[in-house]
Chain A
Amino acid sequence: MKGPGYGRLLPLAVVSHYRRHPLQVTALLLILILATGLLTGVWDLTRQARHSMEQGDEAIGSRYQIVRQDSQSVTVADFVRLRRGGLCVLPWLEVSRPPPEGRVIGVDPLSVNCLRSADDNDDSRVAPGLGQAPFMDIGAAAAIAQEGYDSQLRLLVRHAGLSVPEPYRVTAVPGGLSTGELADSFLLNLDALSVLVLLITVLLVRSVYNLGLVQRRASLALLQRYGVPGPVLSSLLIAELVLLAVIASVPGLWLGQLLARVFASGFGQVMGNLFDLRLYGGTSLVSSYLLTLFTLLAVLAWCAADALGLGRRITGWLKVGPTGPVLAVAILIPGLAGLVWGSKLWLVFIAVGLVLLGIGLLIPILLARLIDRSARRSREPLQHWSRRELALMLRQVALPAVALQFAVAAVIAVQALVTTFESTFTQWLEQRLQGDVYIEVPDKRDISQVAEFLDSSSDVAAWHTVARGTARIAGDSVDLLVLPADSSLLDAWQFLEAVPQPWQALAIGGVMVNEQLARRNGLALGDTLTVTVAGAPYSAAVVAVYADYGRPVGEVLVPRKALPADFEPRFRSLTVQLAAEPAKGLAELRSELEALWRTGDLQLRDNQQIRQLATGVFDQTFALTRAISVLTLALANASLLLMGWVFFSSRRWYYQLLQVWGLARGELGSRIRRLSTSLTLLVGLSALGPGVLLTWVLVSRINPLAFGWSLPMAVYPLFWLEILALCLLVGLAIAALFQLQNRRQAPAPLPTTLGQGVER
């Protein structure tokens, strides 16, 4: 090996293992590519969404519009008049179409550049890209509107304090359903998911590479015996790792970008429709690539530590004696304490990391020791052997097993979160969208002008008014909601906590608070709360706490009679329940109300349409979340399958020996099946606890800390059964693969070198 050919021959000798086992290098590369792809994909998607949300806040969050003082709709003539008067107003034509096409927004790309002079030199922030749904040229949007869809023109301005000529004034653009907080929560959960994906990726990559190293121990030892110094060998292994990382990261990155693009179209529609934010930017190759590279480098460092023998010493040290469990418990205790008592979001995130690390360390060791102990107690030799073998397997494939465990835990948590989120949001939506139609009472118009018409119309089954304003509690400003406690439309409300018959309790002098206010002010049922409205104090007992997922602000709900006579609501609306079979459509209702109120710009919303939209959008959103977690699970399963198969292959000689000793072929097969399914089922079962814990952390710790409200905690045991069935399938597949291979090739005798330092 020494001499002039040394430099070229040695690397060839090192990688010759892969020439003999091309499947192994293919599998390794495939897993690397899949893992980096998944990681960059999820990372890119959340980064894009977050970026868009920030931009959305800029472009849409601080939106003001110019309206006419006479409540008539603004037209293109108003736009021209204001522009020619020197004001920088932008036309914004929203056209509502039912799904799947959804809403479109027409903008005039030619008129946005006045913002440049108005504020800064970067109008790209506020100028939506025309090519990106739902934006299009305003002319095209107007053409769609002409097909008979509801449309509304707004004239947007950047600042509220703009001085505008008669007969105009500046108002805030009504937010409709303000769901920004939900979007934030959704993204935060996606972030958590991507951190998990990262963790799983790291574990998988390392374990697959490690397995390769174990298999190559014999050939590496041979090289050392030929005189290749250890450090040279180690550096060659590191070089090989770098090469593998580079080869895999490029297609992995491409796959990730593809994944992000595929998901982004659905995701963009979801975010746009549901959360009123859009995916503006394309994917950023640089940040994704840096992340991928960083991850691979971290794994590389870890693997290099192994190659240098360092990792093996540490893991060996952890696997025997009390060090492993003691260390795991020492990590778990502060982690769990952080989870329960952590008062900051980042603390909870660190605590989750610590807990997962502790669990990952503890469970394989603990399980292996428990099985070892039960093996010692077993008198039947074959059973004794089976248990010892299972314990050995657990130690040998500990890393992919932990990765699978985390993946299963993540899938369980995501599934629980998604299902809870979906049902809770649907309930909340039902509550918020009481009745069939929502109507904004126009400025300077009185409800009495339409009350008679609504009362007498045979198309209207029931209606009530909703008023919103501001109140003060101990000097702090909170939102005020005023509802008629006797309205039949409120019967569907569900409360987080409530006294019996809460609406009656409200009517006779109570107050309801939203979850945010209850949490912030530590309010419970029966507590007395003093609310000051328009300078007049109103003291009443809290009779209910209701969920309010839209916003972070506190809100109180009081009955109409609690308000002073001079209370001026900030905003009023009507909720109308239509008759079972109304004779007239919504368009007629709108025109009749417009005539009574003498306005041409009535804001009327069909709640049914919104419900449909939200449902469709939720299906899409959660299909996405599920897809990501299922992909992770598939990746983890595939790795375990591969590793289990390789493990059995390396043990073939022993199994053959069992046959020689008289064990029937069928009996051996069933032993192996039992072994592999026990392994995967153990992994699945041990993931249930962490899964429930993760669910609890997401809904009860992360959400309240981030947004002030929590989701109800629920577990779904039927889903657990599905997951366990999947684990069982993977176990059966491992055994089947092994037996297939066993039937085709005779086992090679055990090389003496393999016996050294390897557990038997």
Chain B
Amino acid sequence: MSHRKSKPITLMLLLSSVVTLGCSSGEDEVSGFAGLAEQIEQDAGQGAGYLQPGPGDAIELPADLGPHPQHRIEWWYLTANLTTGAGEPLGLQWTQFRQALEPRSPQDNPPPAEQWPLQSVWMAHAAVSHDGEHYFHEKLARGDIGHAGAVAEPFQVWLDAWRLAEREDPDGDPQWRLQVNGPGWGYNLLLQPRRAPVFHGDQGFSAKSAGGEGSMYFSYVDMAIEGTVTLKGETLAVHGTGWLDREWSSQFLKSGQKGWDWLALHLDSGAKLMAFRLREEDGGPFKSGTWVPAEGEPISLSGDEVMIEPVATRSTSRGQVPTRWQVKVPGQDLDVVVSAVPGDYWNLGVFPYWESPVRVSGSHEGRGYLELTGYGADE
């Protein structure tokens, strides 16, 4: 009996923690964050068998495009700043999360699908932001039965009919197709990486606290994108630039961390910037970032080398949200203001979070995306 009863409970736990992945919600979910951290600490004490990334761990491609069943959490995360045929800006997001309920060695086979195993839960998010409106949809599935999953070669990530899959273009170069159908809207895009993947932090190990906990994290920072977006029965041709994150860990946020502020910017100079801060309950936030010059090697930024501070908030459907930020990287002569475009960009899934396109002005011009978790409140 205990086995039967424990499943739904685990499921809820899992769902609450999926969120914490990178998309937690308001103040009300602080306990969700802490809950996950506590459970992780508990599991660690019992030797739960999850692998924990650390300095010195390396990224291997293409293998690391695939899933990591011995890690607790991971995601594939695309944000794109696109332009329609009419020259209007259009923001787009696609994310797929995996949350493990039980760790499994990559060498072990999953239980047979007929047993409807529940070792992992998958969650997919898709959103389109256009003309001040924001469309969002969420899907959930259990792993290991084929309903949702990911493979490294040929690269494919899917849940239901949503999928990102590798294919070859006529020249033999790798290309990815992303297909998503939300209720009454959808998109069908071709993505082509224009730069080699950027490994964040120490060869891909990205610290998330002063104590040294962190995740493995790399990004395709410059994806050429073209395709169509369907909204309100109208199909729009779009093109632009995307940013695809791959990240996995077994402990992402510690108890005491309230949420995170993350941004990825495409500057008109051709340079790219990723910066985030994790807000601590006690003391200042933990900051980090990566500067990707137009030419040359990426530069990892420590907390002292990047400044990221909110300068104005916006009243939204779920309360005040910091939508205007000052970002400085003194070493690169960058001093910009990053502002969310007008609108309400809450992704109202099981666990709400903010995901909006942004404009960059100041020492540099450009576009990008802003993701905020741990703000707002339930109505």
Interface residues of A (CB under 8 A from B): 75-77, 79-80, 83-86, 91, 93, 106, 108-111, 113-114, 116-117, 130-131, 136-144, 146
- Contact between chains at B4 and A140 (CB < 8 Å): yes
The interface residues of chain B lying within 8 Å CB-to-CB of A136 are: 4, 7-8
The interface residues of chain B lying within 8 Å CB-to-CB of A91 are: 116
- Contact between chains at A84 and B160 (CB < 8 Å): yes
Known contacts A80-B145, A110-B121, A114-B139; is A138 also within 8 Å of B160 by CB?
no
Complex Cα distance, B47 from A7, in Å, reads: 72
* Sample of 24 A–B contacts (CB below 8 Å): A75-B114, A84-B147, A84-B158, A91-B116, A108-B116, A109-B8, A110-B11, A110-B121, A110-B142, A116-B183, A117-B137, A117-B183, A130-B8, A131-B8, A136-B8, A137-B4, A137-B7, A137-B116, A139-B118, A142-B114, A142-B115, A142-B116, A143-B3, A143-B4
| Residue-wise interface mask of B (170-198) relative to A, using a CB-CB cutoff of 8 A (1 in contact, 0 not) | 00000000000111000000000000000
- Contact between chains at B115 and A144 (CB < 8 Å): no
Pick the residue among A77, A108, A117, A143 that contacts B142 (CB under 8 A): A108
Within 8 A of A (CB), among B126-161: 137-142, 145-147, 158, 160-161
- Contact between chains at A77 and B113 (CB < 8 Å): yes
Complex Cα distance, B183 from A142, in Å, reads: 32
Q: Which residue from chain A places its CB closest to the CB of B158 in the assembled complex?
A: A84
The interface residues of chain B lying within 8 Å CB-to-CB of A113 are: 138-140
- Contact between chains at A140 and B7 (CB < 8 Å): yes
Give the residue among A117, A130, A131, A137 with the most B Cβ atoms within 10 A.
Answer: A137
- Nearest first, the 6 A-B pairs at minimum CB distance are A117-B183, A86-B161, A80-B146, A140-B4, A130-B8, A139-B116
- Contact between chains at B114 and A84 (CB < 8 Å): no
User: Does B342 touch A at the CB level, under 8 Å?
Assistant: no
Q: Which residue from chain A places its CB closest to the CB of B182 in the assembled complex?
A: A117
Pick the residue among B8, B116, B140 that contacts A76 (CB under 8 A): B116
User: Does B117 touch A at the CB level, under 8 Å?
Assistant: yes
The majority secondary structure among interface residues of chain A is helix
The interface residues of chain A lying within 8 Å CB-to-CB of B7 are: 136-137, 139-140
A64 → chain B, closest Cβ, in Å? 19
Q: Which residue from chain A places its CB closest to the CB of B140 in the assembled complex?
A: A110
Known contacts A79-B147, A117-B182; is A139 also within 8 Å of B160 by CB?
no
Known contacts A85-B161, A108-B142, A143-B3; is A137 also within 8 Å of B118 by CB?
yes
Known contacts A80-B145, A80-B146, A140-B4; is A86 also within 8 Å of B116 by CB?
no
The interface residues of chain B lying within 8 Å CB-to-CB of A84 are: 146-147, 158, 160-161
Q: Which residue from chain B places its CB closest to the CB of A81 in the assembled complex?
A: B146
Complex Cα distance, B161 from A684, in Å, reads: 70
The majority secondary structure among interface residues of chain B is mixed
Within 8 A of A (CB), among B201-237: none
| Interchain Cβ contacts within 8 Å, total number | 83
Give the residue among A84, A136, A144 with the most B Cβ atoms within 10 A.
Answer: A84
The interface residues of chain A lying within 8 Å CB-to-CB of B114 are: 75-76, 142
The interface residues of chain B lying within 8 Å CB-to-CB of A141 are: 116
The interface residues of chain B lying within 8 Å CB-to-CB of A116 are: 183
Known: A80-B145, A106-B116, A138-B116. 7 other contacts (CB 8 A): A76-B114, A76-B116, A80-B147, A86-B181, A131-B8, A137-B8, A142-B114
A163 → chain B, closest Cβ, in Å? 15
Complex Cα distance, B160 from A16, in Å, reads: 74
Pick the residue among A75, A85, A137 that contacts B11 (CB under 8 A): A137
The interface residues of chain A lying within 8 Å CB-to-CB of B145 are: 76, 79-80
Complex Cα distance, B145 from A91, in Å, reads: 12
Complex Cα distance, B139 from A114, in Å, reads: 7
| Residue-wise interface mask of B (14-36) relative to A, using a CB-CB cutoff of 8 A (1 in contact, 0 not) | 00000000000000000000000
B65 → chain A, closest Cβ, in Å? 20
A122 → chain B, closest Cβ, in Å? 14
Pick the residue among A114, A140, A143 that contacts B160 (CB under 8 A): A114
A632 → chain B, closest Cβ, in Å? 36
Complex Cα distance, B116 from A111, in Å, reads: 12
- Contact between chains at A83 and B140 (CB < 8 Å): no
Q: Which residue from chain B places its CB closest to the CB of A104 in the assembled complex?
A: B4
Complex Cα distance, B121 from A137, in Å, reads: 13
Known contacts A77-B146, A106-B116, A142-B115; is A83 also within 8 Å of B8 by CB?
no
A72 → chain B, closest Cβ, in Å? 14
Known contacts A110-B140, A113-B138; is A83 also within 8 Å of B116 by CB?
no
The interface residues of chain B lying within 8 Å CB-to-CB of A93 are: 116
A420 → chain B, closest Cβ, in Å? 39
The interface residues of chain B lying within 8 Å CB-to-CB of A139 are: 7, 115-118, 142
Q: Which residue from chain A places its CB closest to the CB of B10 in the assembled complex?
A: A137
The interface residues of chain B lying within 8 Å CB-to-CB of A140 are: 3-4, 7
Complex Cα distance, B118 from A130, in Å, reads: 15
- Contact between chains at B8 and A143 (CB < 8 Å): no
Complex Cα distance, B79 from A296, in Å, reads: 62
Complex Cα distance, B8 from A141, in Å, reads: 12
The interface residues of chain B lying within 8 Å CB-to-CB of A130 are: 8, 11
Pick the residue among B121, B138, B146, B160 that contacts A86 (CB under 8 A): B160
A81 → chain B, closest Cβ, in Å? 8
The interface residues of chain A lying within 8 Å CB-to-CB of B121 are: 110
Pick the residue among B11, B113, B118, B147 that contacts A83 (CB under 8 A): B147
The interface residues of chain A lying within 8 Å CB-to-CB of B118 are: 137, 139
Complex Cα distance, B161 from A330, in Å, reads: 72
Give the residue among A77, A85, A140 with the most B Cβ atoms within 10 A.
Answer: A140
The interface residues of chain A lying within 8 Å CB-to-CB of B161 are: 83-86
The interface residues of chain A lying within 8 Å CB-to-CB of B182 are: 117
The interface residues of chain A lying within 8 Å CB-to-CB of B11 are: 109-110, 130, 137
Within 8 A of A (CB), among B280-320: none
B247 → chain A, closest Cβ, in Å? 22
A116 → chain B, closest Cβ, in Å? 8
Complex Cα distance, B114 from A26, in Å, reads: 62
B231 → chain A, closest Cβ, in Å? 15
Q: Which residue from chain B places its CB closest to the CB of A108 in the assembled complex?
A: B142
The interface residues of chain B lying within 8 Å CB-to-CB of A77 are: 113, 146
- Contact between chains at A83 and B160 (CB < 8 Å): yes
Complex Cα distance, B137 from A93, in Å, reads: 27
The interface residues of chain B lying within 8 Å CB-to-CB of A114 are: 139, 160
Q: Which residue from chain A places its CB closest to the CB of B160 in the assembled complex?
A: A83
The interface residues of chain A lying within 8 Å CB-to-CB of B142 are: 108, 110-111, 139
Complex Cα distance, B158 from A80, in Å, reads: 11
The interface residues of chain A lying within 8 Å CB-to-CB of B137 are: 117
Q: Which residue from chain A places its CB closest to the CB of B118 in the assembled complex?
A: A139
Q: Which residue from chain B places its CB closest to the CB of A146 in the assembled complex?
A: B115
Q: Which residue from chain A places its CB closest to the CB of B142 in the assembled complex?
A: A110
A157 → chain B, closest Cβ, in Å? 14
Complex Cα distance, B145 from A106, in Å, reads: 15
Complex Cα distance, B8 from A108, in Å, reads: 10
Q: Which residue from chain B places its CB closest to the CB of A117 in the assembled complex?
A: B183
A397 → chain B, closest Cβ, in Å? 53
Complex Cα distance, B7 from A675, in Å, reads: 65
